[in-house]
């Protein structure tokens, strides 16, 4: 399926190549560079490119293009999903998926790629198995290795690969047994000029960090599971149990993983926690405009809205901005024309405001459209949908684990049109 993989950085250097079948020359990437040139920015490079003998399917992650070479028909999502899994694995191993991290750990990267695909077909993609096969690098280990001459290759054989629970390592031992769940909800919304909601929905995930010894069998139940409209599961979750009882029952992988992601049924109205008042106008026949934005909390159920950042992609004609903010600091990038206003916490008594003058290029026509505002925020200890974890039970092990649940609401793709 997947013939070869090339990793290309932003300046167009191929810094890694790996072939799973016969070798494909680097020159195949020229087609990719061609397409890249045609697309105005990296976001617009088409993920699937056809060349006379091969097909190139690429993803863009952390300033690296992962370009895979395909020779025959294959579902493109299969390849894309796999490439993202590769990037996730790098992230997991090296803490970041950057060019330097990959170059510094070239051998581990190569070993990983070797294990992840066999003849172009995915073999081991679960991080728990991979970590048994190839130990992730730590500073301590590399020092020890250099002294003792031992390797980062797993000595024990990865029995997990053979089991029915391929996502879990075999022998897990912790002195402190802990299970943490983060319920993170993101509000995707489009707010129109007048402040009414064009579109809003809540997307949530439950990320877990589970450090439990042995082979625990967990079941997590919710106070109001009917809120979850559409759910996707980590393979460890027993589907039948969810279907019948709305209980998440699973033997967890070891470490960090995403348990479920869900969407809250759109029938329920989404409470939008902030409102934005804005006056952005450009004067006709004059090289300046007005900019005045106020942001305030609304329907936040008694919680503070924090980590508020407003980003605005200003029109091309904008030269500079002279603004004063009552709270937080702002920066304007005159090259990318991006205004970022970092507000922090909103206090309802004194609403943060940013206003001032926009300088336009003299002679340039007045911009057609007002830029839309992208808002980021965070509300701790609140799941905006009202979802609540009821209880977590553990079976199969004797000890008593430490359990914790955290709720966070964030802005997802939250856009205010002006």
Binders of other proteins among 269-328, rule CB under 8 A?
A: 269, 271, 275, 298-299, 313, 315-316
CB under 8 A: which stretch of 174-182, 265-273, 318-326, 345-353 binds other proteins?
265-273
Residues touching other proteins, count (CB under 8 A): 135
Q: Which of 31, 33, 174, 233 binds other proteins (CB under 8 A)?
A: 233
What is d(CA 291, CA 356) in angstroms, rounded to the nearest whole number? 5
Site residues for other proteins, window 98-157 (CB under 8 A)?
103-107, 109-111, 114, 118-119, 121-123, 125, 137, 142-143, 145-146, 149, 151-153, 155, 157
Q: Which of 10, 12, 15, 347 binds other proteins (CB under 8 A)?
A: 15
Between 58 and 208, name the residue whose CB sits nearer to other proteins: 58
Q: How far is the CB of 98 from other proteins (least distance, A)?
A: 15
What is d(CA 216, CA 236) in angstroms, rounded to the nearest whole number? 12
Q: How far is the CB of 357 from other proteins (least distance, A)?
A: 21
Site residues for other proteins, window 355-384 (CB under 8 A)?
365-369, 371-372, 374
Q: How far is the CB of 326 from other proteins (least distance, A)?
A: 20
Q: How far is the CB of 146 from other proteins (least distance, A)?
A: 3
Q: Which of 70, 112, 179, 360 binds other proteins (CB under 8 A)?
A: 70
Between 246 and 410, name the residue whose CB sits nearer to other proteins: 246
Q: How far is the CB of 381 from other proteins (least distance, A)?
A: 16
What is d(CA 350, CA 326) in angstroms, rounded to the nearest whole number? 9
Q: Which of 12, 26, 320, 399 binds other proteins (CB under 8 A)?
A: 26
What is d(CA 58, CA 6) in angstroms, rounded to the nearest whole number? 9
Between 189 and 323, name the residue whose CB sits nearer to other proteins: 189
Q: Which of 140, 173, 175, 243 binds other proteins (CB under 8 A)?
A: 243
DSSP collapsed to 3 states, the chain:
CEEEEEEEECCCCEEEEEECCCCCCHHHHHHHHHHHHHCCCHHHCCCEEECCCCEEEEEEECCEEEEEEECCCCCHHHHHHHHHHHHHHHHHHHCCCCHHHHHHCHHHHHHHHHHHEECCEECCCCHHHHHHHECCCCHHHHHHHHHHCCCCECCCCCHHHHCCCCCCCCCCCCCCCEEEEEEEEEEEEEECCCCCEEEEEEEEEEEEEEECCCCCEEEEEECCHHHEEEEEECCCECHHHHHHHCEEEECCCCEEEEEEEEEECCCCCCCCCEEEEEEEEECCCCCEEEEEEEEEECCCCCCCCEEEEEEEECCCCEEEEEEEECCCEEEEECCCCEEEEEEECCECCECCEEEEEEEECCCCCCCCCCCCEEEEEEEECCCCCCCCEEEEEEECCCCCCEEEEEEEEEEEEEEECC
Work out whether 267 is an interface residue with other proteins (CB under 8 A): yes
Between 61 and 403, name the residue whose CB sits nearer to other proteins: 61
Site residues for other proteins, window 203-232 (CB under 8 A)?
203, 215, 217, 221, 223-224, 226-227, 229-232
CB under 8 A: which stretch of 47-55, 89-97, 328-336, 354-362 binds other proteins?
47-55
Q: Which of 12, 95, 235, 404 binds other proteins (CB under 8 A)?
A: 235
CB under 8 A: which stretch of 244-252, 302-310, 321-329, 355-363 binds other proteins?
244-252
Q: How far is the CB of 345 from other proteins (least distance, A)?
A: 20
Question: Which helix or strand (DSSP H or E) is residue 383 part of?
Answer: none
């Amino acid at each position: 399926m997947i013939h070869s993989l090339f990793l290309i950085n932003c300046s167009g250097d191929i810094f890694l190549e790996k072939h799973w079948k016969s070798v494909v020359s680097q020159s195949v990437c020229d087609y990719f560079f061609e397409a890249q040139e045609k697309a105005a920015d990296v976001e617009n490079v088409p993920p699937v490119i056809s060349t006379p003998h091969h097909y190139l399917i690429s993803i863009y992650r952390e300033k690296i293009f992962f370009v895979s070479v395909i020779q025959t028909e294959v579902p493109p999502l299969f390849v894309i999903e796999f490439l993202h899994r590769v990037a996730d694995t790098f992230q997991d191993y090296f803490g970041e998926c950057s060019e330097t991290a990959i170059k510094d750990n070239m051998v581990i990267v190569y070993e990983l790629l070797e294990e992840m695909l066999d003849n172009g077909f995915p073999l081991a993609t679960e991080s728990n198995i991979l970590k048994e096969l190839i130990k992730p690098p730590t500073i301590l280990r590399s020092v020890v290795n250099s002294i003792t001459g031992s390797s980062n290759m797993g000595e024990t054989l990865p029995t997990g690969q053979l089991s029915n629970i391929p996502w879990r390592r075999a022998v897990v031992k912790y002195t402190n047994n802990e299970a943490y769940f983060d319920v993170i909800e993101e509000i995707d919304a489009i707010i129109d000029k007048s402040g009414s909601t064009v579109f809003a929905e809540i997307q949530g995930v439950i990320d877990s960090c589970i450090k439990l010894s042995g082979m625990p069998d967990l079941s997590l139940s919710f106070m109001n599971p009917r809120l979850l409209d559409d759910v996707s599961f980590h393979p460890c979750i027993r589907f039948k149990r969810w279907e019948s009882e709305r209980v998440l029952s699973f033997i967890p992988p070891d470490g960090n993983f995403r348990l479920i992601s869900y969407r809250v049924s759109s029938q329920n109205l989404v409470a939008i926690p902030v409102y934005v008042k804005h006056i952005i106008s450009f004067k006709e026949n004059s090289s300046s405009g007005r900019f005045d934005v106020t942001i305030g909390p609304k329907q936040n159920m008694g919680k503070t809205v924090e980590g508020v950042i407003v980003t605005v992609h200003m029109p091309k004609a904008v030269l500079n901005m002279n603004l004063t903010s009552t709270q937080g600091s702002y920066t304007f990038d005159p090259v990318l024309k991006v205004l970022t206003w970092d507000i922090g916490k909103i206090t309802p008594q004194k609403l943060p405001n940013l206003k001032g003058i926009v300088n336009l290029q003299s002679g340039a026509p007045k911009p057609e459209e007002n830029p839309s505002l992208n808002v980021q925020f965070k509300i701790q200890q609140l799941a905006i949908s009202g979802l609540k974890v009821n209880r977590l039970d553990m079976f199969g092990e004797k000890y008593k684990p430490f359990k914790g649940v955290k709720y966070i609401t964030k802005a997802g793709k939250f856009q205010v049109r002006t």
